[in-house]
Amino acid sequence: MTIPTRLFAPLLAGATLRDRVVAGLAAGIGIALTSLVSSWLLGWSSLPLLVAPVGASAVLLFAVPASPLAQPWPLLGGNVVSALVGVTIAQLLGHGPLAAGAAVGAAIVGMALCRCLHPPGGAAALTAVIGGPAVTAAGFVFPFAPVAVNSLLLLGTGWAFHRVSGHRYPHRAGPPVAAPGLLRADIYRALAEAHESFDIAPEDLEQLLQRAERHAETRRGQRPA
């Protein structure tokens, strides 16, 4: 029986093996440095020196730095806002299944309202509920130390890495590409009709579509009459 090679194709457009290997090495270094510096800054505390959500944050920050979910405010704000929500839910509802579900659900709403949607934030909210006695005792300190400290340190290493690697981070869409017939309003209408959320900024999508349209025009112009 043969295994379809498409099963091993990249799930993300533009992904290459080299990019993923470099991102993995960079994420490993980023987490190690975050842990090391956090140990120095928070060694006085009985709290965890490194929280699990930053591992998920590292995946976004190093592997998909152009994602709207990986930008500085979503990464920092998403983790901190969610941890604050989780602590609040824990104090109101305790640490059972109901509290766990309510924390993650409320964190999604909180991040959306604060424009800082970041998937690892759900784990930050959940950790605030089920993280154990040390997290419970810390109360509203937990979202800031270690969550905010970890997030800021990881952001610093990510920013430095992307400066060296040549990625624009924080990500900004490039200038529009001249292409006839396509308006940003058309893209927003198409997105509204899809009734889905896509992990790409509308400005980046506009630029990609304009480039594709320009290449299509060039290809059509090269066809023999």
User: For residue 32, what pLDDT is reported?
Assistant: 97
Answer yes or no: is pLDDT of 7 > 70: no
State how far the Cα of 146 lies from the Cα of 162, in Å rounded to an integer.
24
Q: Is 139 left (phi over 0), alpha (psi -120 to 50) or beta?
A: left
Q: Which residue from 207, 210, 206, 176 is spatially nearest to 190, judged by alpha carbons?
A: 206
Q: Rounded to whole angstroms, what are the CA distances from 70 to 23, 46, 73, 86, 172? A: 14, 29, 8, 21, 12
Question: Which of 34-43, 141-150, 173-182, 201-210 has the weakest average pLDDT?
Answer: 173-182
User: For residue 5, what pLDDT is reported?
Assistant: 59
Which 8-state DSSP code applies to residue 94? -
Q: How far is CA 143 from the centre of its chain?
A: 18
Answer yes or no: is pLDDT of 171 > 90: no
Q: Which long-range contacts (CB under 8 A, 24 or more apart) does 106-109 make?
A: 107/81, 107/82
Answer yes or no: is pLDDT of 3 > 60: no
Q: Which residue from 206, 154, 216, 158 is spatially nearest to 183, judged by alpha carbons?
A: 206
Question: Which of 51-60, 138-147, 203-212, 216-225 has the weakest average pLDDT?
Answer: 216-225
Q: What's the pLDDT tens digit per position in 88-108?
A: 999 999 999 999 999 999 999
For 43-119, where are the alpha helices, taking DSSP H only?
Answer: 53-63, 72-93, 97-113
Cis peptide preceding 170, ω within 30 of 0 = yes
User: For residue 20, what pLDDT is reported?
Assistant: 85
State how far the Cα of 80 lies from the Cα of 83, in Å rounded to an integer.
5
The phi, psi pair for 46, rounded to 5°, reads -85, 0
Q: What's the pLDDT tens digit per position in 35-69?
A: 999 999 988 777 888 999 999 999 999 998 989 99
- Average pLDDT over the chain, rounded to whole? 86
User: For residue 176, what pLDDT is reported?
Assistant: 61
